[in-house]
Structure 1
Amino acid sequence: MKTYTCQCGTPLFFGNRQCVECGLDAGWCDVCSETAAVSPEGTCVSCGTSVVPCANRTTYDVCNCFVDASLAEPGTLCRSCGMTTMVPDTSLPANVRRWALLEAAKRRLLYDFRTVGYPDDQLTALPPLAFRFLSDTPDKHVVTGHANGVITINTSEADPVHRESTRQQFGEPHRTLIGHMRHETGHFFWMREIEGRRDAEATRLFGDADANPYAETMKQYYEQGPPEDWNEQFISTYAASHPWEDFAETYAFYLDMRAVLDTLRWNAPEQVQDLGDDLPSMLATYCSAGIVLNEINRTMGLTDLVPEVVPPAVVSKLQFVHDVFESLRTGVVSQS
């Protein structure tokens, strides 16, 4: 994640809404794709465009984005908020707070896509990527998941107490909002870029999804757990449950890695001097940085930032994900 700079020289971070030094409004500009300060006259300091706040920023305070004023009408949403098709009951303050956290995670996800060069038109092609953030009701439990381009996330995941309890229950080293976003978009990515296009290679690496009925396989996983040697073939225990989940977990790890490396590149370039565009270079740098990052977290009594160990079988899967992203970014089909 890049750290930006206000016109006064103060660092601006991705989630900032105001410069802490000069007091100017700040946020993500949809025009120039930068976090920037906005002048009192409503001009983005970075690109000089007249901008107005996203309607969700002014109405609900759940967004920090600005949109092109010349294209805006009352109620105009930023690109990220426009992808959310359903939200929880906004008359409940707790729902609004949780919604804000989910939107913040989604904005980081979209930044991830920029980092890996995933084309915008792949997100908007039919069926487009969309999000529903919903809360349980007395009559219905909301299941987090993906279906035909729509990602539904139960807003309880934005409650840290619930999320930590669930993390402990399922033995997950990570359970975060951005983690949910990355995992569920893995299913979208499978639908959009793998299924019907790269079936043979995906089946070779992840297994035959069609030969493993999803409901039955998941039931067996929750009853019996992963195989004892899961860590020789999979990036996580959940990845061992079904080929679709294996792909989504591998894809999510890839986005985790790219996000951390991008943050280091912008903020600690001396740590990534040998970083190349190839997967082996990325993995080596990520694992090396992970040792330091894990020790920092342990020093503060926190869980490891990079808990995964990457066996050779998973490296091959990650190479597949990397090659697909690269082919989409460059338009050149990998021969590996």
Structure 2
Amino acid sequence: MQTYDCSCGNKLFFNNTHCSACSRTVGWCDACAAVTSISPSGECDAPGCSQTLQPCANRAAYQVCNCLVPADGDQPLCLSCQTTTDVPDPNDPTQLTQWRVLEAGKRRLLYELAQVGVSREQLTADPPLSFRFLADTPGKHIITGHADGVITINLEEADPVVRAKGRQQFGEPHRTVIGHFRHEVGHFLWMRLVENDRPDACIKLFGDHRDPPYGEAMDRYYAEGPPADWQARFISQYASSHPWEDFAETMGFYLDMRAVLDTLEHQVTPLSVRRGADLDELLAGYLKAGIALNEINRTMGLTDLVPEVVSPPVVEKLRFVHGLFPSEAVLLATG
């Protein structure tokens, strides 16, 4: 993730709402697609923008968003908040906090999708990408998942204690809020980019999603667990459960990789960036960076960030995913 600059010269980060140096109001400007400060009169400080802005309605009312929208527009919600169709109870302090966490993760996801070349038209075509953030109620447990363009996230996934338990229970060391979003959007991207255009090529690599049926495959996975050799063929244990989950887990890994390389490019050291890189170069840069990133995490007693080895079958699956996006949007970190 890149950083931005306040009009005072201070660094601004993706989720900032105020500059820590000059106290100016800052946020994501939908008009120029950047984090920017605004003048006392509300004008965007980003070069070439000068749009008069006001806080997104969800920011003004509930502080769950950091976006700024055109003051003369007829849409009070930012582009990100418009995609959330079901929101938690803002009068419940716990749900309000969880809502804030999930909206932050969603904004990051939408930024990442734009970075890899997913167009707004692809996100809004029928059925459009939308989100529901729901809490369990007596007698009804909310299942996190995707169906027909709608991503549903159980509010409890915004609770770090619940996520920590899930990591142990399901063998998912990288169970995070952004990880959930990247996985579930993988199902959406399968529907949008694969189902009608590349089904045969996908089946060849990931398996036939029709046989066995999804429910039957998932029942077997939870009863028997992953195959003993899952690491030789899949990016994760869960990917072995069904071809749809294999695709979503592979997409999630790909988006992880792209996000890390984007951050390294902007934050760690000058890295050459080349458009149109192939998957082999992209993956080599990620695994090379992973040596340092993993050692940093180990120094702090944290889980490795990057796998040390990606098996050949998984590389071919990643190559398929890589080919779904426009080559000119692909950034390569080397050095």
Task: Tell me whether the two structures share a fold, i.e. TM-score over 0.5.
Answer: yes
- 1:268 Cα shift? 2.6
Aligned to 2:142: 142
- 1:222 Cα shift? 0.6
Aligned to 2:127: 127
Aligned to 1:226: 226
Aligned to 2:5: 5
Residue identity matched to 2:285: T
Aligned to 1:317: 317
SS in 2 for 1:165: helix
Alpha-carbon spacing, 1:261–1:329, altered in 2? closer, same or farther (3 Å): closer
Aligned to 2:42: 42
Aligned to 1:59: 61
Matches within 5 A, 1:130-209: 130-209=130-209
TM-score, L = length of structure 1: 0.94
Distance 2:267 2:219 in 1: 44
Matches within 5 A, 1:26-37: 26-37=26-37
Distance 1:270 1:328 in 2: 20
Alpha-carbon spacing, 1:264–1:106, altered in 2? closer, same or farther (3 Å): same
Residue identity matched to 2:281: S
- 1:326 Cα shift? 2.2
Distance 1:291 1:160 in 2: 27
- 1:291 Cα shift? 1.1
Aligned to 1:18: 18
Residue identity matched to 1:138: P
- 1:269 Cα shift? 4.0
SS in 2 for 1:97: helix
- 1:309 Cα shift? 2.9
Alpha-carbon spacing, 1:308–1:212, altered in 2? closer, same or farther (3 Å): farther
SS in 2 for 1:70: coil
In 2, are the aligned partners of 1:276 and 1:282 still within 8 Å (CA)? no
Deviations 1:31-57 (A, max 9, x none): 000000111111110021101100000
Distance 1:131 1:304 in 2: 30
- 1:211 Cα shift? 1.4
The answer to whether the aligner puts 1:106 opposite 2:106 as a matched pair is yes
Runs of at least 4 residues of structure 1 off by over 6 A? 273-276, 327-330
In 2, are the aligned partners of 1:226 and 1:237 still within 8 Å (CA)? yes
In 2, are the aligned partners of 1:272 and 1:285 still within 8 Å (CA)? no
Distance 1:3 1:177 in 2: 21
- 1:186 Cα shift? 0.5
TM-score, L = length of structure 2: 0.95
Distance 2:225 2:232 in 1: 15
The answer to whether the aligner puts 1:69 opposite 2:71 as a matched pair is yes
Alpha-carbon spacing, 1:123–1:115, altered in 2? closer, same or farther (3 Å): same
Distance 2:291 2:328 in 1: 31
- 1:238 Cα shift? 0.3
Distance 2:180 2:272 in 1: 27
Distance 1:262 1:9 in 2: 22
In 2, are the aligned partners of 1:235 and 1:249 still within 8 Å (CA)? yes
- 1:218 Cα shift? 0.4
Distance 2:269 2:326 in 1: 23
Q: Say how many residue pairs are matched.
A: 328
In 2, are the aligned partners of 1:221 and 1:241 still within 8 Å (CA)? yes
Gaps of 5+ in 1: 331-336
Aligned to 2:255: 255
Aligned to 2:333: none
Quote the sequence identity (%).
58
Distance 1:283 1:3 in 2: 24
Distance 1:320 1:266 in 2: 27
Distance 1:204 1:121 in 2: 28
In 1, are the aligned partners of 2:132 and 2:152 still within 8 Å (CA)? yes
Distance 1:2 1:84 in 2: 25
Deviations 1:104-152 (A, max 9, x none): 0000001101110111100000000000000001121100000100000
Residue identity matched to 2:70: D
SS in 2 for 1:49: coil
Aligned to 1:334: none
Alpha-carbon spacing, 1:308–1:17, altered in 2? closer, same or farther (3 Å): farther
Gaps of 5+ in 2: 331-335
In 1, are the aligned partners of 2:226 and 2:237 still within 8 Å (CA)? yes
Distance 1:268 1:325 in 2: 26
Aligned to 2:284: 284
Distance 1:328 1:167 in 2: 36
Residue identity matched to 1:49: Q
SS in 2 for 1:122: helix
Residue identity matched to 1:99: W
Distance 1:71 1:37 in 2: 19
Distance 2:86 2:280 in 1: 40
Alpha-carbon spacing, 1:328–1:314, altered in 2? closer, same or farther (3 Å): same
Residue identity matched to 1:186: G
Aligned to 2:91: 91
Distance 1:273 1:99 in 2: 35
